[in-house]
Amino acid sequence: MDRQEVNILTVNGLNVSYGSFQAVKDVSFNVRKGEIFGLLGPNGAGKTSTLSAIEGLLKPQSGVINVDGFDAIEKPLHARASLGVQLQSTSFQPELFVIEVLQLYAGIYGLKLTKEQVLTILRDIGLEDQAFKKFGQLSGGQQQRVSLVIATIHNPKLVLLDEPTSGLDPQSRRQLWERIEAIREKGHAVLLTTHSMEEAESVCDRIAIIDHGSVIAIDTPQAIIDKHRSDPDVIAVSRRGKITLEDVFIALTGKAVRA
C-alpha cells in the first residue's frame, strides 16, 4: 500500500464546547503517513481547541479521534505514545545546558541517551557547539530546533507543531521548514497550525481552513486557490494581480481582525 493512503490521524465529527460556547463544530479530517497537513484559521477559529483535543488535553463533547489505530479518547495513553508535540512557546528549563535538556526529555520518553548520542543529535541540527550553553541563552531559531528534536526524539508516528516558525527570521524559518520536510521524508505524519500562508503553500501537502469552529475548505493549497480564484470576493481582496492562498483565506474568513 502507498504510504500516502495510510491515515495516521483520523478526526471525525469532533465537537468541543466551553460551557455554552461551541469552539469546534463537527470537524473532520485525516492526516496521512508521510504528509504535512496544515490547519489554518483566524484567531479564535478553533485550531487550538482541535489540537488540544488531539493531544488529549481536553475531552471533546463528541466525535472520534484515532491516532495510529488507537482511539485517543478511549485509550489516551496508547495514542499519546504515538504523538510528538512542539508547542509555540517552549517551556524547557532555561537554566539547564542544552545537552541536559535533551537527556532529560529523552528520559521522560524512556530513552537513555549517552553524551555521545546527544552530541550526535546536536551535530545533525548544527548545534553541537551549543551543547554546554544554557537553553535560555539560545536564539529563538536555535530553541525551535531543539524543541523539534525533542518532539521527535521517540520516533512518533504523528508530530503536532503549533505555529513552529512564529517569530523566526526568514533564514531560521526556511531552515526549520527543511527540518519539518525531513520529518515527512522519514514517513512521519505532521500536523501543524500556522498563520503564515507562505508556510502553508511551501511545506503543506494539504490544508484545512477552519473558521468559527467549522472546516470550510480542505484540499491541497493549489487546489483551494484554483477552486476559488474566480470568486468575486477573492478577486476583490487580491492586491497583487496573482491570486494567492492569502487572498482566498481572507475572502473565506473575512477581513475583520480577530482578537
Please check the confidence at residue 193 and state whether its pLDDT lies above 70: yes
Q: At 90, is the pLDDT very low, low, confident or very high (cuts 50, 70, 90)?
A: low
CA dist 132 and 115 (Å) reads 11
Q: What is the pLDDT of residue 257?
A: 73
Q: What is the pLDDT of residue 169?
A: 84
Calculate the average pLDDT of the chain. 91
CA dist 193 and 58 (Å) reads 18
Residue 215, number of CB atoms within 10 A of its CB: 22
Q: What is the pLDDT of residue 37?
A: 98
The arithmetic mean of pLDDT across residues 24-49, rounded, is 95
Q: Which residue has the higher pLDDT, 82 or 258?
A: 82
Q: What is the pLDDT of residue 27?
A: 98
In a domain? residue 198: yes
In a domain? residue 177: no
Beta bridge partners of 40: 209
Q: What is the DSSP letter of 62?
A: E
Q: What is the pLDDT of residue 108?
A: 87
Residue 121 in grid coordinates? 543529535
In a domain? residue 124: no
The arithmetic mean of pLDDT across residues 171-196, rounded, is 90
Closest C-alpha among 169, 171, 225, 173 to residue 194: 173
In a domain? residue 7: yes
Q: Residue 66 sits in which domain range? A: 1-82+193-259
In a domain? residue 74: yes
CATH of the domain at 223: 3.40.50.300
pTM for the predicted model, two decimal places: 0.90
Q: What is the pLDDT of residues 99-157, one digit of tens each?
A: 999 999 999 888 988 999 999 999 988 899 999 999 999 988 888 889 889 989 998 99
In a domain? residue 51: yes
Q: What is the pLDDT of residue 161?
A: 92
Helix (H) or strand (E) holding 107: helix 98-108
Cβ atoms of 204 and 37 closer than 8 Å: yes
Burial of 100 (0-12, 13-18, 19+ CB in 10 A): middle
Number of domains within the chain = 1
Task: State percent of the chain over pLDDT 70.
Answer: 96
CA dist 2 and 197 (Å) reads 28
Q: At 88, is the pLDDT very low, low, confident or very high (cuts 50, 70, 90)?
A: low
Please check the confidence at residue 2 and state whether its pLDDT lies above 70: no
Q: What is the pLDDT of residues 45-65, one digit of tens each?
A: 999 999 999 999 899 999 999
Cβ atoms of 175 and 203 closer than 8 Å: no
